[in-house]
Amino acid sequence: MPKSHPQAVLPEIRLPILKERPFIGLNRMYPAYGDWLQTICQQSGFTPRIVREAHGAASALAFVAAGFGVALLSEPIKKFPAKDVVFKDLLAPQPVRIPLGAVWKKNGLYSGVVSKFVATLSQVCAATA
């Protein structure tokens, strides 16, 4: 959120506090993002008012810095240089889940670490399906 936002001084943000704020979305290159944003906002009792669609995290941060709205982005984005933007932990009424995809070549030759990661990922995905 912009540093000038009234809730920017809070250590964490409850999602319903943002219901009246304009949101920055991500364009159609991130098809799961729009559905995810709609779902978590609806779980908090509102529909986000998306005023700009960014082409990626960096442009979303630029829109936020310019004061166009707030954006919900994944935690690693905190490492991006972002002047006039503050990052806050989000408190949602339900756990926030983000769709994740992974692709690998079946019967490919991989290092031991990659093979173990693929096996672990396969087990986790099978358990949550």
Kindly report whether the global pTM for this prediction surpasses the value 0.75.
no
Q: What is the pLDDT of residue 73?
A: 86
Tell me the two tokens of residue 82.
């972002």
Indicate the range of 1-5, 52-56, 87-91, 93-97 predicted with least confidence.
93-97
Mean pLDDT value of segment 27-43: 85
Confidence of residue 107 (pLDDT cuts 50, 70, 90): confident
120 shares a domain with 63: no
For 52-58, which contacts have Cβ atoms below 8 Å and span 24 or more sequence positions? 52/22, 52/24, 52/25, 53/24, 53/25, 53/26, 53/27, 54/24, 54/25, 54/26, 54/27, 55/26, 55/27, 55/29, 56/26, 56/29, 57/26
Calpha distance 36→33 (Å, rounded): 5
Q: What is the pLDDT of residue 98?
A: 65
59 shares a domain with 43: yes
103 shares a domain with 74: no
Q: Is 38 a residue whose pLDDT tops 70?
A: yes
Collapse the DSSP code of 45 into the 3-class scheme (helix H, G, I; strand E, B; otherwise coil) and give the result.
coil
- 1 within domain boundaries: no
120 shares a domain with 83: no
